[in-house]
Amino acid sequence: MVLQENYKVISDVIEYNELNLYVIAPGIVVSEYKADFELDLDFALEINSKIGELTKGKAMTQLFIACPGLSVSKEVREWGVTEVANQYTLTSAVVCNLLSHRILGNFLIKVQRPPRPTKMFSSMNGAIDWLCASIQ
C-alpha cells in the first residue's frame, strides 16, 4: 500500500487483485488501484458497497489513486457522477500522472460535474492536504 508508510491506516484493508480499499487518519477512504485493467460497472458497484461497509454508511472524503493502465468504462463514467455513486463521498481527490487520465478526469469534473467537490492532483501530498482541509 502506497500510503501505509506515511499515514495511519484506521480500518480493515479490503484487498482485490486490482485495488486496495482502506481508511487513513483523519478519515480519508483510499481506493488504491494497483493493476492494469478496465473498471466496469459491476466492479464499481461492488467497490461502492465495500466503501459503504468501511465507512459504516457515513459519507467521508475519498482519495482515488489511479495507476498506469487503468481505464474506466463509459457506464462507470456516467454512473460515477450520480448521487447514488457518491452517497459515501464528501469530497473526492484523484491522483494521477498520466496525461490520458488527467484529460478524462478533467472532462468528468468540468463537463459531467460530480455532485461533490472533486479535484485532480499529480501528487499524493497535495491531494491529502486538500482533503484534510475539507474535513475541518
Q: Are 66 and 33 in contact (CB under 8 A)?
A: yes
Total domain count, the chain? 1
In a domain, residue 50? The reply is yes
In a domain, residue 68? The reply is yes
pLDDT at 40: 94
In a domain, residue 4? The reply is no
CATH code where residue 76 lies:
3.30.750.24
pLDDT at 3: 66
In a domain, residue 77? The reply is yes
In a domain, residue 9? The reply is no
Non-local CB neighbours of 5 within 8 Å, separated by 6+ positions: none
CA distance to 108, 113, 135, per residue, from 77 (Å):
7, 11, 26
pLDDT at 134: 92
In a domain, residue 5? The reply is no
> Domain limits at 39?
14-135
Non-local CB neighbours of 10 within 8 Å, separated by 6+ positions: 23, 24, 25, 27
pLDDT over 80 (residue 112): no
Q: Are 14 and 47 in contact (CB under 8 A)?
A: no
Structure confidence by residue, pLDDT tens digits, 25-58: 999 999 999 878 889 999 999 999 999 999 999 9
Which is more confident, 1 or 74? 74
In a domain, residue 3? The reply is no
Q: For a pLDDT cut of 90, what percent of the chain falls above it?
A: 62
